Amino acid sequence: MSQPASSSSTPANGNDSSWKTGLRPPPKDIRPQTEDVTATKGLEFEDMKLHRELLMGIFEAGFERPSPIQEEAIPIALTRRDVLARAKNGTGKTAAFVIPSLQQVDVTKPKIQALLLVPTRELALQTAQVCKILGKHMGLQVMVTTGGTTLKDDILRLSEIVHVLVGTPGRILDLAGKGVADLSECPVFVMDEADKLLSPEFAPVMEQLLSFLPAERQVMLFSATFPMIVKDFKDKHMRSPHEINLMDELTLRGVTQYYAYVEERQKVHCLNTLFSKLQINQSIIFCNSTNRVELLAKKVTELGYSCFYSHAKMLQSHRNRVFHDFRNGVCRNLVCSDLLTRGIDIQAVNVVINFDFPKNSETYLHRIGRSGRFGHLGLAINLVTYEDRFNLYKIEQELGTEIQPIPQTIDRGLYVAPSGGEDSQVQRAPQQPQRQQPQQQQGQAAQQQKPQPTGTPVQRAGPPHAAPNQQQYIQQQQMARPGGQQPAYRGGVPVAR
């Protein structure tokens, strides 16, 4: 099974650092980090005997040293042993499997040599981008394929050379079943968010997909939670896997969790208060249904705040546009369903709000993990109604954490990096003619329970309001779309027709 090293790849010499002189890494991130990513044993990327071209991509991506999961997983994965790794959200799991996968690619061989499976389309795009960034100097070809896109385009792309294939299970099974994607010589098989991929929703697809892979293959499973179905898969399809468990606790140390006890009718009023008072860099707001996502996004836009939304019933092209633009800081707030709970890494998000409280601990864990990425600070606020009280208690017990009642004042040091820029500000609605005033009784209750945080400004990500340039931005995006196929917009948010 040993793969020859690429003829263009040179093992890096730890004593010779001259190759670093031409690299252009991003500005150093000076934000404080928690022990989730700093409690390492001192191993460096240069100690792992990686190809120099891969090391160049790693350092140009801004990776200075491995996180604990990378330090544990990469050396073992490089020996081609099966790996079963469990680590917290946002601690570097993606690079922990991408780096050893790329290391094993022989670019002189025009075959698919690494298959990276993920459960959602957005995560597939993100993972493929990480592969391209880290492998930019290696000359390898990365392809991403998901449902919701034209199958013909994928067939044409696979007629060319592809070394690393990233995608969702259904589409990859479709391509393999049609004989378009040849996985017969693919020695590396990775499942990210493995608990989701092995759930009843995906399990039959996974069994079929494995039949297209060679018997001699390396299997790597990564996730934050490992239910019993993962053990069943391990016993059936993995050979003496090296098990890594860095989950001494389930929640991220950098994420502070609060709940606000409200009535259903008070939620928008409470959210409006949070927007006007918190030092939000970017926020993700979760709802429990696609219908509520659209209704809330419309309401937030009417209140005058910049807001996009995304859910599974939107056209894939619109989902991609929203994800891309939010990641690039075009908009400050994103309302979404659980579509974006898994793996999505947007460093600027420092606040997650559960507008609807989740029904199980797994969903809660993945939602709040969208803030506090890679050991940084984050804030999770849960709007909890009378009906949610049992779920709140159950989730606290299952995760071994305590969700505190929201205080009158939230210390900005809990979720705002001390290096925040001076030109930043809290979100202000430019005009609120349609704001609904609560009834007197409701207002008194909200006054008792609504948070009154304070703080100073932080660096702004994107425009602070919805107006006045949002319509111009929308028109530009519409004009830029190929083929004249324009999205429908409602309240400044792209929606499915």
Q: Give Cα 479 to chain centroid, integer Å.
A: 29
> So what's the pLDDT on residue 32?
61
Amino acid, single-letter form, for residue 409 = T
CATH architecture of the domain 25-245 equals 3-Layer(aba) Sandwich (3.40)
SS3 375: helix
Cut 0.85: pTM above it? no
Domain limits, the chain = 25-245, 255-414
> So what's the pLDDT on residue 62?
83
Do the two domains 25-245 and 255-414 of this chain adopt the same fold? Answer: yes
Structure tokens at 268: 């928008």
Cis preceding-peptide flag for 110 (omega within 30 of 0) = no
> So what's the pLDDT on residue 366?
84
CA-CA distance, 127 to 134, in Å (whole number)? 11
Q: Which of 98, 95, 19 lies closest to 53 in space, CA to CA? A: 19
SS3 63: coil
> So what's the pLDDT on residue 178?
92
Q: Which of 60, 63, 27 lies closest to 48 in space, CA to CA? A: 63
Nearest 5°: CA angle at 136, between 127 and 316? 35
Q: How many CB atoms lie within 10 A of CB 172?
A: 25
Ranges in the chain, pLDDT < 50: 1-8, 13-14, 420-424, 431-497
Task: For residue 462, give Cα distances in angstroms to 298, 320, 349, 352, 466.
Answer: 19, 18, 12, 17, 10
Amino acid, single-letter form, for residue 415 = Y
Place of tokens 């892979």: 213
Q: What is the pLDDT of residues 359-389, one digit of tens each?
A: 988 889 889 887 766 556 889 999 999 999 9
Kindly list the strands in the beta sheet with 333-336, ordered across the sheet, starting from the edge strand earlier in the chain. 307-310, 333-336, 282-286, 349-354, 378-384, 255-261, 404-405
Q: Which of 376, 399, 375 lies closest to 251 in space, CA to CA? A: 399
Instruction: Find all residues with CB under 8 Å of 45, minimum gap 6, and list them.
Output: 55, 58, 59, 63, 65, 66
> So what's the pLDDT on residue 475?
44
> So what's the pLDDT on residue 466?
34
DSSP letter, residue 173:
H
Q: At what angle do helices 151-158 and 169-177 cross, to 10 degrees?
A: 60
> So what's the pLDDT on residue 36?
57
Q: Which of 129, 73, 139 lies closest to 105 in space, CA to CA? A: 139
Yes or no: is domain 255-414 CATH 3.30.420.40?
A: no
Instruction: Find all residues with CB under 8 Å of 461, minimum gap 6, and list them.
Output: 281, 282, 329, 332, 348
